[in-house]
Structure 1
C-alpha cells in the first residue's frame, strides 16, 4: 500500500499546463478537511480568501471534489482490522500490567513468552487472511464480498506474512535462543515463504528414465541442496546410480551419506556437540573434494554436459565457499536472501543473529534488493538490523504492518523512544498514528481508531478526543424505540452514546465525556426531547445547559400554551429526584427545574379538574418560593379560575392573603422601576405591547381575590 503523496482529480479542476493561468486570474486551489473522517473537499477560490469562504469567488459554478488519502476499508478488510485490534489491545494491557510490576519482571521468561505469543498471533491472523484469499482465487471463485472484489490481493497478505514471520525469526526467537545459531530458522523461513525448486519440476523430473539428460535436472538438484531439501536431494542423487559414468556413480555414493548426515543444531543437545560434528562432517567434505579433483578431465563429461562442474558446484556449497554460493545463486536466478541464508547454513553454520548484518552488507553490495519492491526492501532492512528503515518500508507496504510492528520494536529497544524535536512524536507514535489515520477513513471504525490514538502520548490523545467529539450519536434512531427510551430515562445510556461514554471512562477522558453529553443534550433540545436532554445535562454536570433546557421548556408555555408545556415538563420530572441526591448540583438550576415540574403538575391537575389539589399546589409553589419572580404574575393569573370556582372555596383565608401579598409585591416593584423583573413573562404570554397591559391583567387577579374574600366572609370563613 504505497503512501499517497498526491491525488489525481478526474476531471481535473485545473488542466495540465494551465496552473499559471489560474494564478493570473486571482484564483487558487483550496481544500478543507472533513470533521468526520480523513477525507477533504477540494475547490477553486479567489486567492487570499480563507479556506472554505467561497462567497466572493469569481466562478460559483466550479465543482467541488471530495477526495481521500485512503480507500475506505471493505467489509473483509474491516474484519481483518478489527480482529487484529484485539491482539493490539492485549499487548497494550500487558504493557500497562508490566508498568505496575517489579522492573525485573519485564526481563522474565513469562513476560517475553507473552510478547512473542502476541507477535505470533499477528502472524497467524495474516496467514489465515492470505490462505483465504489464495484458496478462493485458486478455486476459480470471484472472491467477492458485499461491496465487490477484495481490496487487497492474496499477494498483499503474503507480503505481510513473510515480513512479520521474518521479524519473529530474527528478533523474537524462543526465550534463551537469541544467542543460538540462526541458520536453521532462516532456512525454514525461506523455504516456507519462497518455495524453490517447485514441486511441479520435481514431479516432472521423477517421471523421466534418464532425468540428468533434461536441462532442468542439475539446476533442480543444486537448488534442492542449497535449500537443505535432503529428501529431494537424496532421491535425485540416487537416480544418478544409473548414470553411464562410473566415476560419477562413485562420487554420488559418497555424496549421498554426506548430505544425509549434515549436522543440524536441532539434533544436538548442546552447541558444543554441534560444533564438533560440524568439524568432522567438514573433513569428510574435504575428502570428497580430493576425490573429485582426482577425476581426469576427459572423464568429466557425458553426452550432454559437464557433470563434474555441476557436481563440483554442489560440493562447493557443502564446503561453505561463499564465492560458489553467490555464483550458483546468480545462475539459478536467486536473490540476496538466498545467498544470505545459504551463507548461514554452509559458510558459517554457527552464525548468531547479531552477526547477520555484517554478512548481509557484503552480499547486498553485489546483489542489491529491488528498490521498487517494498517487501524486498523491508526484508533487507530486517536482515541488516535497521529497524527504523524497516518500519519506513513497512508503512509503504501497508500502514497496518508498521503500526503494529513498531510496538515490538520499541519493547525490544530496537528504535529510539525519544520524541522528534520538531513534531514531538516518537517513532512509535508516528507509525501508530499513521495507521490510526488510515482507520479514520472509515468512520464506522472509530472505536478501534481511538484505541490506537489513546495508546500514544499527548498528540495522539488529543486527536482521539477530537474524534470522540465528532462521532455521530444517532440519537434519533435510539429514541425511536420505546424500550430504549425508557432505559435511557432510567439512567441506562445505550447505543453509540453508551460506547462513547465507555471509551471515555476507559481512557479517563472525563472532559470529553461531558462535552459529548452536552452535544447530545443540545441535539435533543432541538427535537424537543427535553426529558432526555435533562438526563444528559446531569450526566455532563452541565448546570448552565440544564438551565437552558429549563428555559426552553418554559418557553413552550409561552409559545404553545399549558397543554404542550405540561407534556414536555412532566417528561423531566424523574430527573428532579436524581438531582436532589447530588451534592455538586448548583442550587439555582435545581430550583428552576423544580418549578417547571411543580408548575406542570399544577396544570395537569387543572386539566383533570382536580381543583382542590391544584389550589394546594399553587400555594405550595409560592410558599416554597419555587417560582422565579418573573413567573409570579403568570402563576397568579392562573389562580383566577380557582378563585372564582363556584362549588367551594379552594383557598384558606391565609392562603388567599398570601396570594394578595405576592400580587401587591408585583405592583410595588413595578412602580419602583423593576417591572421587567416581574412582568416580562406575562407580557410575552399576553403578547402585550407594554407592562401597563400586564398590570391591567393583574388587576383582574386583585378583583378575583376581593370577590373571594367577600365570599369567605359571607360563608363564615374569615377567621381561618
Structure 2
C-alpha cells in the first residue's frame, strides 16, 4: 500500500503485514472507511471467465477484518492541547488579516512568537510526562520530543529570516540568539561555576569547554567572568585577554553609526590582536592562544575547534561572529554551504539539517518541501505556510515558478490538516475551523466529511447538524436527520424518530412514521409520544399524513377532556377531508358512535348526513362488517333528534 503526504513529495511506500492465514492463501481486498481508515479482508480474485460458484476458501469459521489507519501523532492526549491552543492563534491570524491592521508585520511577528511558546509548552509537557513513565511508551514520547524540538528550532530560524524586520538587514545578532536559545548548556554550566564564587575554576573538567562554548555563542561577558575566576587571572596574559575582549567593537544602529565605521573598528581591533599573537604574547597559555586565534579567524584554529561544536550551524554562527560580523541575511546560505563542506557533512545531513540549510539559503519553497517530511501530520507545514503567506513571503516564489499559486499552496496544506483533524472523535470541530478558511474547496470538503463523522450519541448528531446549519448545508442536515430517525425507528422509539424527521423536513419519511403511529394506535388502542404530538404546531404541515395524525390527536384529547361538541366538530372536519388513510376509516367511524349516542346532541343533521354518506361509501370495508348496523342505527337516532331539535329552533 502506498501513502504520499503531498503530490509534490516523493512517494513513501509503507508495507503492512496482515497476520492472517486466510488472507495469505486467498488474497486480500481493501475498502475505504470514513474518514481515514482502510478495511482489509480476505478476498479471492475472480474474473468473468470463471464459473460463478462459492469460493473454495469459504468455510464456517469466522473471518477477520483488519482496520488500517495512519498513526496520527497529534491525537496523543498531550499533543491535543497543542492542537487546540494553536487553533486559537490560527483564527486570530485570519481575523488580523481581515481587519487590515496597519502594523500587520509587527503583529504577525507577535503571532509567530505565540506559536513558538505553544510548541515550547508542549515540549515541557512531554518531558514532564516522560519522567513519569517506565515502560516502552517512553520511546514514543522521546520521538515526539525530538520531532517538536526540531519544529521549534526551524520555526525560530524562519521567524528570524522571513518574519522579523532586521535593521540594516544585519541578521547575526538574531541568529546568535537562536543558537543560544537552543543550546543553553554553556550558559547553565557557566552560571553553576560562577555561583561558587571561587578562584581556580579551571580545576573543573568542564571549565575550558564552557569558556570556548560561550565564546562561540558570542557570550563575551560570560567568557570574561569565567577567565577572572582562573587562578592565573592576575597574570599579564589574562589581563591582556580581558582587555582585548572588553575592547571588542559592537554595532548599535540606534547610535547612528554606519556599518562601514563599524567594519573599520572591527578591522583595527583584529589587526591589533593579530600583532599580539605574532609577538607571542599568548604562547604561555594554550587556551588563551586558541581563543585569540579564533577571534582573528585563523583557519587552523577553527579546524582545531570543530569537534567542540555539536552541530554545524552552531559552528557556523560562531565563525560568522568573528569573521563576518556584518553578514547580511541573503549571504547566510553561501557561508552555510562552505561550513558544511569544511566539516565534510555534505553526505551526512539529517532532516533537520536540510531544512535549516534551505532556510539559511532563503529557499522558502525548499523549506516547505522539507518540513512536509516531518512526522507531525501537517501541523507544522500548515501553520507556518499560512503565516508566511500572510507575511507576503510566498508571493516572491511566483517570480521563479510561473505556475505557482501562493493561495493554492496555503489552502492545500490547511485543507489536508483540517481533514486530518476531522478524523478524530473530539477534534473534528477544530478541523472545521481550518476548512472554513479554505475559500476554494473548504465548504465542499465539509459537505462531504460531516455526514461521515462517526456518531455515537444524539448529542454529537445535534452538534454536527448545528455546524451544517451554520454553513447552510441543508443536504447534510437532511441526511443526518434521516439516518438518526431510521436508527430510532429500528429501536422502537417512534417519537424520537418523528422528532428527527421533523428536523429534516422530510415529507415522505414523516408520512411513513405517522402511519407507524396510527397502526400502533390501532394495535394498542393508545397513542404514544403524546408530548411530541401535543407540540407539533406548524411542524405538522410537513406532510398530509402528519396533519391527520396531529388533528386526530387533537380530537382524542378533546374527547377525553369531555369537550364533546368541539370533538364532534373536529371529527366531521376529518371525515370531510381527503387526508384520512384507508386503514383508519373504520376507527373514525366507530369512534363516532359514542358521540352519536351522547345524551347531549353534538351532531347537527348535516353532520349526521356526512357520517351516513361516509358510512355508505365505506360499507364494504371488512373492518366495519360487525359494526355497520350499529352505526346505521346510531346515525338514524341522532338524525331524528337533530331534525326535531332544528325544527323547534325554527318555530
TM-score past 0.5 threshold: yes
- Aligned partner of 2:9 in structure 1 is none
- Aligned partner of 2:335 in structure 1 is 359
Secondary structure in structure 2 of the residue aligned to 1:242:
coil
Deviation (angstroms), 1:91? 2.0
Q: What CA distance in whole angstroms lies between the structure 1 residues aligned with 2:304 and 2:214?
A: 12
**Which residue of 576, 581, 584 maps to 2:537?**
576
- Aligned partner of 2:506 in structure 1 is 542
1:443 matches 2:443: no
Distance 1:255 1:268, change over 3 A: farther
Distance 1:653 1:165, change over 3 A: same
Secondary structure in structure 2 of the residue aligned to 1:426:
helix
Deviation (angstroms), 1:529? 4.8
Deviation (angstroms), 1:123? 0.8
- Aligned partner of 1:254 in structure 2 is 240
Deviation (angstroms), 1:712? 4.8
- Aligned partner of 1:221 in structure 2 is 211
**Which residue of 297, 303, 312 maps to 1:327?**
303
Deviation (angstroms), 1:185? 0.8
- Aligned partner of 1:388 in structure 2 is 365
Aligned partners of 2:250 and 2:262 also within 8 Å: no
- Aligned partner of 1:58 in structure 2 is 57
Aligned partners of 2:435 and 2:443 also within 8 Å: yes
Deviations 1:146-204 (CA, angstroms, capped at 9, x unpaired): 9999586544433332222222122221xx42653111111111011123536447856
Q: What CA distance in whole angstroms lies between the structure 1 residues aligned with 2:539 and 2:209?
A: 83
Aligned partners of 1:569 and 1:597 also within 8 Å: no
Aligned partners of 2:170 and 2:326 also within 8 Å: yes
Deviation (angstroms), 1:450? 2.2
Distance 1:214 1:550, change over 3 A: closer
Q: What CA distance in whole angstroms lies between the structure 2 residues aligned with 1:614 and 1:122?
A: 69
**Which residue of 291, 316, 334 maps to 1:314?**
291
1:621 matches 2:574: yes
Deviation (angstroms), 1:631? 6.0
Deviations 1:393-418 (CA, angstroms, capped at 9, x unpaired): 43424232223212112223444799
Distance 1:469 1:577, change over 3 A: same
1:599 matches 2:552: yes
Deviation (angstroms), 1:537? 4.1
Aligned partners of 1:381 and 1:387 also within 8 Å: yes
**Which residue of 234, 249, 253 maps to 2:224?**
234
1:83 matches 2:91: no
Q: What CA distance in whole angstroms lies between the structure 2 residues aligned with 1:329 and 1:121?
A: 36
Aligned partners of 2:169 and 2:328 also within 8 Å: yes
- Aligned partner of 1:12 in structure 2 is 19
Aligned partners of 1:636 and 1:659 also within 8 Å: no
Secondary structure in structure 1 of the residue aligned to 2:536:
helix
Aligned partners of 1:263 and 1:278 also within 8 Å: no
**Which residue of 660, 671, 680 maps to 2:612?**
660
Q: What CA distance in whole angstroms lies between the structure 2 residues aligned with 1:261 and 1:553?
A: 95
Q: What CA distance in whole angstroms lies between the structure 1 residues aligned with 2:473 and 2:57?
A: 45
Q: TM-score, normalised by structure 1?
A: 0.74
Deviations 1:377-429 (CA, angstroms, capped at 9, x unpaired): 32222222233333344342423222321211222344479999999993333
Q: What 5-or-longer segments of structure 2 have no aligned partner?
A: 6-11
Aligned partners of 1:475 and 1:520 also within 8 Å: no
- Aligned partner of 2:444 in structure 1 is 462
- Aligned partner of 1:29 in structure 2 is 28
Q: What CA distance in whole angstroms lies between the structure 2 residues aligned with 1:210 and 1:530?
A: 88
**Which residue of 156, 181, 189 maps to 2:170?**
181
Q: What CA distance in whole angstroms lies between the structure 2 residues aligned with 1:555 and 1:528?
A: 13
1:191 matches 2:176: no
Aligned partners of 1:530 and 1:553 also within 8 Å: yes
Aligned partners of 2:160 and 2:175 also within 8 Å: yes
Distance 1:38 1:57, change over 3 A: farther
Q: What CA distance in whole angstroms lies between the structure 1 residues aligned with 2:201 and 2:600?
A: 122
- Aligned partner of 1:375 in structure 2 is 352
Deviations 1:295-325 (CA, angstroms, capped at 9, x unpaired): 29xx9357xxxx2xx444423432345x457
- How many residue pairs end up in the alignment? 626
Q: What CA distance in whole angstroms lies between the structure 2 residues aligned with 1:453 and 1:381?
A: 29
1:169 matches 2:169: no
- Aligned partner of 1:286 in structure 2 is 271
Aligned-CA RMSD value: 4.3
Distance 1:527 1:114, change over 3 A: farther
- Aligned partner of 2:376 in structure 1 is 398
Q: What CA distance in whole angstroms lies between the structure 1 residues aligned with 2:550 and 2:358?
A: 70
**Which residue of 389, 392, 407 maps to 1:410?**
389
Q: What CA distance in whole angstroms lies between the structure 2 residues aligned with 1:438 and 1:475?
A: 22
Distance 1:208 1:324, change over 3 A: farther
Aligned partners of 2:89 and 2:115 also within 8 Å: yes
Which moved further from structure 2: 193-202 or 448-457? 193-202
Aligned partners of 2:30 and 2:39 also within 8 Å: yes
Q: What CA distance in whole angstroms lies between the structure 1 residues aligned with 2:438 and 2:259?
A: 46
Q: What CA distance in whole angstroms lies between the structure 2 residues aligned with 1:627 and 1:603?
A: 17
Q: What CA distance in whole angstroms lies between the structure 2 residues aligned with 1:147 and 1:236?
A: 38
- Aligned partner of 1:346 in structure 2 is 322
Q: What CA distance in whole angstroms lies between the structure 2 residues aligned with 1:179 and 1:67?
A: 54
Aligned partners of 1:28 and 1:46 also within 8 Å: yes
Q: What CA distance in whole angstroms lies between the structure 2 residues aligned with 1:325 and 1:432?
A: 48
Aligned partners of 1:524 and 1:530 also within 8 Å: yes
Deviations 1:96-141 (CA, angstroms, capped at 9, x unpaired): x25xx5xxx6xx42x222222222111111112222333565xx54
Q: What CA distance in whole angstroms lies between the structure 2 residues aligned with 1:698 and 1:338?
A: 103
Q: What CA distance in whole angstroms lies between the structure 2 residues aligned with 1:570 and 1:703?
A: 37
Q: What CA distance in whole angstroms lies between the structure 2 residues aligned with 1:665 and 1:257?
A: 120
Aligned partners of 1:123 and 1:164 also within 8 Å: yes
Q: What CA distance in whole angstroms lies between the structure 1 residues aligned with 2:387 and 2:425?
A: 28
Q: What 5-or-longer segments of structure 1 have no aligned partner?
A: 477-494, 580-586, 668-678, 687-693
Aligned partners of 1:618 and 1:639 also within 8 Å: no
Q: What CA distance in whole angstroms lies between the structure 2 residues aligned with 1:198 and 1:571?
A: 72
